[in-house]
Amino acid sequence: MNRIKEILEQKGIKQTWLAEQLGKSYNIVNGYVQNRQQPRLEVLYDIAKILDVSVKELLIEIKGENN
């Protein structure tokens, strides 16, 4: 799970702008934003760089019973 949608809203950035910066289609980026699909690690680093945040800020920590 990721926080891309939350970060975009905080920064007032549109998904279309992020898609342009990444060189990806709006549909792909929308899938990331809606958590229907997760970006590859390389893409996650690109998103973090574009949004000027750490990769860790883009991720949601999931705590299970074993953690």
In DSSP terms, 59 is beta-bridged to: 2
pLDDT digits (tens, 9 = 90+) for 9-50: 999 999 999 999 999 999 999 999 999 999 999 999 999 999
Cα separations in angstroms, 58 against 15, 32, 51, 65: 15, 11, 10, 23
Domain covering 4-56 assigned CATH 1.10.260.40 in the classification: yes
66 pLDDT higher than 80: no
> Which are the contacts of 16, defined by CB distance < 8 A and separation ≥ 6?
26
Chain CA centroid to CA 36, Å? 12
67 pLDDT higher than 60: no
